[in-house]
Amino acid sequence: MQALLDAIARIEPSSDARRIFHGRGGLHPGCEAWALDAFPPVFLFASFQPVADDTLATVHDALTARWARIAPGEPLNWVFQCRHDSQPTTRLMAGVVPEPHVVTERGARFLVHVLKGQNHGLFLDMAEGR
Protein backbone atom coordinates (compact mmCIF):
# COMPACT_ATOMS: atom_id res chain seq x y z
CA MET A 1 0.00 0.00 0.00
CA GLN A 2 2.94 2.30 0.57
CA ALA A 3 3.44 2.87 -3.16
CA LEU A 4 -0.12 4.20 -3.45
CA LEU A 5 0.31 6.41 -0.39
CA ASP A 6 3.57 7.75 -1.82
CA ALA A 7 1.82 8.59 -5.09
CA ILE A 8 -0.92 10.41 -3.19
CA ALA A 9 1.71 12.37 -1.26
CA ARG A 10 3.19 13.52 -4.58
CA ILE A 11 -0.08 14.75 -6.13
CA GLU A 12 0.31 18.25 -7.53
CA PRO A 13 -2.53 20.56 -8.54
CA SER A 14 -3.56 20.18 -12.17
CA SER A 15 -6.67 21.00 -14.14
CA ASP A 16 -6.07 18.05 -16.51
CA ALA A 17 -7.43 14.54 -16.10
CA ARG A 18 -4.56 12.16 -15.44
CA ARG A 19 -3.47 8.83 -14.03
CA ILE A 20 -1.90 9.24 -10.59
CA PHE A 21 -1.20 5.60 -9.74
CA HIS A 22 -1.38 2.35 -11.69
CA GLY A 23 -0.60 -0.76 -9.69
CA ARG A 24 -1.15 -3.21 -12.52
CA GLY A 25 1.94 -4.54 -14.24
CA GLY A 26 3.71 -5.77 -11.12
CA LEU A 27 5.77 -2.66 -10.40
CA HIS A 28 4.20 -2.19 -6.97
CA PRO A 29 3.83 -5.49 -5.09
CA GLY A 30 0.62 -5.61 -3.09
CA CYS A 31 -0.95 -2.82 -5.14
CA GLU A 32 -1.56 -4.68 -8.41
CA ALA A 33 -5.33 -4.32 -8.20
CA TRP A 34 -5.40 -0.53 -7.73
CA ALA A 35 -5.54 2.58 -9.87
CA LEU A 36 -5.98 6.19 -8.80
CA ASP A 37 -7.04 8.74 -11.39
CA ALA A 38 -7.86 12.42 -11.29
CA PHE A 39 -10.91 13.60 -13.17
CA PRO A 40 -10.85 17.14 -11.72
CA PRO A 41 -12.37 18.02 -9.41
CA VAL A 42 -12.82 14.32 -8.52
CA PHE A 43 -10.38 11.53 -7.71
CA LEU A 44 -11.35 7.99 -8.71
CA PHE A 45 -9.83 5.07 -6.80
CA ALA A 46 -10.53 1.80 -8.62
CA SER A 47 -9.79 -1.71 -7.48
CA PHE A 48 -10.02 -5.02 -9.31
CA GLN A 49 -10.23 -6.86 -5.97
CA PRO A 50 -12.36 -6.24 -2.87
CA VAL A 51 -10.92 -3.57 -0.57
CA ALA A 52 -11.27 -3.62 3.22
CA ASP A 53 -12.90 -0.67 4.92
CA ASP A 54 -9.71 0.10 6.86
CA THR A 55 -7.80 0.35 3.56
CA LEU A 56 -10.42 2.74 2.19
CA ALA A 57 -10.10 4.77 5.39
CA THR A 58 -6.32 4.95 4.91
CA VAL A 59 -6.78 6.13 1.31
CA HIS A 60 -9.32 8.69 2.51
CA ASP A 61 -6.95 10.00 5.18
CA ALA A 62 -4.07 10.28 2.69
CA LEU A 63 -6.20 12.08 0.10
CA THR A 64 -7.63 14.39 2.76
CA ALA A 65 -4.17 15.30 4.09
CA ARG A 66 -2.71 15.94 0.64
CA TRP A 67 -5.75 17.89 -0.55
CA ALA A 68 -5.60 20.13 2.52
CA ARG A 69 -2.00 21.02 1.57
CA ILE A 70 -2.49 21.61 -2.16
CA ALA A 71 -6.05 22.99 -2.20
CA PRO A 72 -6.73 24.55 1.21
CA GLY A 73 -10.37 25.38 1.72
CA GLU A 74 -11.49 23.36 -1.32
CA PRO A 75 -13.69 20.30 -0.74
CA LEU A 76 -12.21 16.87 -1.41
CA ASN A 77 -14.24 14.84 -3.91
CA TRP A 78 -13.48 11.18 -4.42
CA VAL A 79 -15.16 8.05 -5.68
CA PHE A 80 -14.35 4.38 -5.08
CA GLN A 81 -15.16 1.76 -7.69
CA CYS A 82 -14.72 -1.98 -7.11
CA ARG A 83 -14.50 -3.89 -10.39
CA HIS A 84 -14.10 -7.32 -8.79
CA ASP A 85 -17.42 -8.67 -10.03
CA SER A 86 -19.02 -8.45 -13.46
CA GLN A 87 -21.11 -5.53 -12.17
CA PRO A 88 -18.85 -2.84 -10.70
CA THR A 89 -19.97 -1.08 -7.54
CA THR A 90 -19.33 2.62 -7.22
CA ARG A 91 -19.47 4.72 -4.06
CA LEU A 92 -19.11 8.44 -3.54
CA MET A 93 -16.67 8.56 -0.62
CA ALA A 94 -16.42 12.33 -0.09
CA GLY A 95 -17.76 15.52 -1.62
CA VAL A 96 -19.73 15.69 -4.84
CA VAL A 97 -19.36 14.90 -8.52
CA PRO A 98 -20.37 17.77 -10.80
CA GLU A 99 -23.14 17.19 -13.31
CA PRO A 100 -22.29 17.53 -16.07
CA HIS A 101 -18.72 16.49 -15.30
CA VAL A 102 -16.43 17.87 -18.00
CA VAL A 103 -12.67 17.38 -17.76
CA THR A 104 -9.77 18.48 -19.92
CA GLU A 105 -6.71 16.71 -21.20
CA ARG A 106 -4.15 18.82 -23.07
CA GLY A 107 -6.82 21.32 -24.04
CA ALA A 108 -9.40 18.77 -25.24
CA ARG A 109 -12.66 18.55 -23.30
CA PHE A 110 -14.37 15.28 -22.35
CA LEU A 111 -17.71 14.55 -20.70
CA VAL A 112 -17.12 11.84 -18.07
CA HIS A 113 -19.33 9.77 -15.80
CA VAL A 114 -17.31 8.46 -12.84
CA LEU A 115 -20.33 7.38 -10.82
CA LYS A 116 -21.56 4.75 -13.27
CA GLY A 117 -20.12 1.87 -15.21
CA GLN A 118 -16.54 1.06 -16.07
CA ASN A 119 -16.38 3.29 -19.15
CA HIS A 120 -16.15 6.79 -17.74
CA GLY A 121 -15.85 8.46 -21.13
CA LEU A 122 -12.09 8.97 -21.06
CA PHE A 123 -9.62 6.07 -20.95
CA LEU A 124 -6.56 7.61 -19.30
CA ASP A 125 -4.23 4.78 -20.36
CA MET A 126 -4.50 6.14 -23.91
CA ALA A 127 -3.39 9.71 -23.07
CA GLU A 128 -0.07 9.37 -24.90
CA GLY A 129 -1.82 8.17 -28.06
CA ARG A 130 -4.41 10.93 -28.24
What are the residue ranges in the chain where pLDDT is below 70?
Answer: 121, 123, 125-130
Supply the pLDDT for residue 84. Answer: 87
Whichever domain contains 78, its CATH number is 3.30.750.80
**Contact by Cβ (8 Å): 62, 38:** no
Q: Is 41 part of a structural domain of the chain?
A: yes
Pairing of strands 78-82, 42-47: parallel
Number of domains in the chain: 1
Is the overall model pTM greater than 0.95, yes or no? no
Supply the pLDDT for residue 101. Answer: 96
Cα–Cα distance for residue pair 99/25, rounded to 1 Å? 33
Q: Is 32 part of a structural domain of the chain?
A: yes
Q: Is 129 part of a structural domain of the chain?
A: no
